[in-house]
Amino acid sequence: MKKTENEKQYIYIVQALLEPSKCKIGITKNLEKRLKSYNNMTGKSQENTYEYLYTCEVKDMKEVEKDIKDEFLIFREDKKKEIYFHNPDLFKKYVGFIKSHKLFVEEIFIKKEVKREIEKITQIVKRTAQTLKERGMTYKSIMQKAKNVDDDEFYTRYEDVEKELSMYDKNIWKDKVVFCNCDDAVDTEEHNTSAFASYFLLNFKELDLKKLICTHYANPVDLFNQGPKGYIYTREFTRYGFKEHKDYPKGYNGSFDHPLSLKILNEEADIVCTNPPFSRCRDYWKLLIESGKNFIIISNSANMLTTAYIPYFKENKIWPGYNEVYWYLTPKKALTRSAGFWFTNFPISDRPKYKNLKIMPLKKIPENYKKYDDSKTLLVDEGYIPSNYKKPFGVSSAPILNGILEKGYKIVQEKQYVPYIKGKKKFGRMLIQKIEN
C-alpha cells in the first residue's frame, strides 16, 4: 500500500527572517502544516516570517532528532529547546550529519539564496550612485557579501565591551595605540558609532591612551550609515589638546587585510580590540597572532574545538578572556544571539569562571559525566576534571573557557579529537592532560 503524506516522517531546519544567528531543527509528519503554524504564531512581528532552510524524509524522525541533539549539544541555545546556533559552517554540519544518518531517506528541499541576494543587490545599487568599479567591487563580490551579511554583521553591545575591558589592569593601556580594525565606525551620533570606538573615546583620558585608530569598512550593507567609502579615524592627545580626523585614502575599503590596515597593525598599533567577522576569523586570527601585538577580541566560542584554531591554544598564543558574549544587535537594532567569547593574549588573573571547574579524583566524578569511547579514551562533561588521571582525556570547550589550562593541564593534540561510542560519532573534543610536576 502506498504511503500517504501524513505517514511519512520528516526532519526540518527552519529559521526566522529576523533571527539569522539561530535556527530550529525539528520533526513533523506534515511539512506544509508545520511551516504554517510557525507563521501564524501570535505576538510575533509580521516581518519576522519563518522559512525552511532544509527538509528531508527519514525512517524514524524521533531517533534522528535524538541523535542530532546528542551530536550538536554544545551548539544548542538552550538544552531544553531545539534551537541551535546558525551560521553557514554550522548549517553544513547539520545537513551533513542528517544526510549521513542511517535513517535518512531523501532530501526534499534545501534553500537557495539567489532571490534574496538579488533583492539585496538591487537595494544596494539604488542607495549609491557610485558604480561597482568605483567602489572596488564586482557583481560577484557584492553577491557574496550580501549572502554572508546576516551571519556576520552584528553590532557588539556597549555593555559587553565595558564589562570585559574593565576587568583588565588600566596600566595596560597607558601610552598605547589602540587599533579597532573591523568596521569600528566613529560618528557624532552614538548609534552610528561602534561600541568599541565609543568605549575608548569615552575613556580616552582615564585609560591614558596615546592614540585611537578605527577603520570603517565599505560594506554593501551600511550598518553605521557612514557611506560607501572606507575610512581611517584617528584620535590622539597632543600638547595642544585632542586632535582627531578622518582620512579616506583612494581605493581603501577598510578591510582588516587591506595593505593600509596591515601597515597600521604592524607599524603603529600596540593593542587591537574589536569583533572580527565570524566568517573570516581564520584569516583574522592568523594575521593578528603573527603580528605579535597584544589583543582583546570577540570570536565564536566554537572555534576553539576546531583544528584550525587548536594549535594557537596549545602553543599558548591565545586564551579565553573573562566573559561570554551571547547577545548582539542586528542592523535593525533587534537583539539576536550567537555563541561568542572574548579572547586575548593578556594575562588573566582571578578568572571568575574557575568556580565552574569541578576538579576531583576520577572515582568521585558521577558516572553520568564520565565515559570511555571505543578507543578507551576518557570523556568528561559538565565541568568535571579528573585530578589523578595521568592519560589524555577529552573535554568540550567549556573547561577551556573556564580556565582549566591555567590549573595544571595542557593540550596534547593539535587537531580536534572526534570520539566514537559503539561506532557512533560524537561531537568533537579537545584532548588535554594533567601536567606532571
181 and 211 share a domain? yes
CATH number, domain with residue 252? 3.40.50
175 and 208 share a domain? yes
pLDDT digit string, tens, across residues 83-119: 888 877 778 888 988 998 899 999 999 987 533 443 4
Long-range residue pairs from 195-203, CB within 8 A, at least 24 positions apart, any chain? 195/155, 195/156, 195/157, 195/158, 195/160, 195/161, 196/156, 196/161, 196/273, 196/274, 196/275, 197/233, 198/158, 198/161, 199/158, 199/161, 199/162, 199/165, 200/273, 201/235
256 and 384 share a domain? no
Task: Choose the final residue of a domain: 291, 317, 347.
Answer: 347
309 and 293 share a domain? yes
Beta strands in 121-254 (DSSP E): 177-180, 211-216, 231-238, 241-247
130 and 172 share a domain? no
331 and 218 share a domain? yes
Calculate what percentage of the chain has a pLDDT beyond 90: 54
103 and 129 share a domain? no
376 and 425 share a domain? yes
423 and 342 share a domain? no
pLDDT digit string, tens, across residues 277-308: 877 889 999 999 999 999 999 998 888 888 99
Supply the pLDDT for residue 189: 59
Is residue 155 within 8 Å of 329, Cβ to Cβ? yes
pLDDT digit string, tens, across residues 256-281: 999 999 999 999 999 999 999 877 88
The pTM for the full model equals 0.66
309 and 199 share a domain? yes
**Pairwise pLDDT comparison (352 vs 5), residue with the higher score:** 352
Q: What is the mean pLDDT of residues 59-67?
A: 93
Highest mean pLDDT among 87-101, 214-228, 351-365: 351-365
pLDDT digit string, tens, across residues 330-345: 766 677 777 889 999 9
**Pairwise pLDDT comparison (86 vs 356), residue with the higher score:** 356
Residue 197 and residue 184: Cα distance in Å, rounded?
A: 6
**Pairwise pLDDT comparison (331 vs 379), residue with the higher score:** 379
Residue 43 pLDDT class (50, 70, 90 cuts): low
360 and 405 share a domain? yes
145 and 160 share a domain? no
**Pairwise pLDDT comparison (50 vs 73), residue with the higher score:** 50
- The sheet carrying 211-216 orders its strands as 241-247, 231-238, 211-216, 177-180, 271-274, 294-300, 335-344, 319-329
Find the domain containing 123 and state its range: 116-150
Using left for φ > 0, alpha for ψ between -120 and 50, and beta otherwise, residue 9 falls in beta
Task: Choose the final residue of a domain: 347, 374, 393.
Answer: 347
Helix (H, G, I), strand (E, B) or coil at 109: strand
Domains contained in the chain, number: 4
Q: Is the pLDDT of residue 137 over 80?
A: no
Task: Choose the final residue of a domain: 100, 132, 150.
Answer: 150
Q: What's the mean pLDDT when you consider all of the chain? A: 84
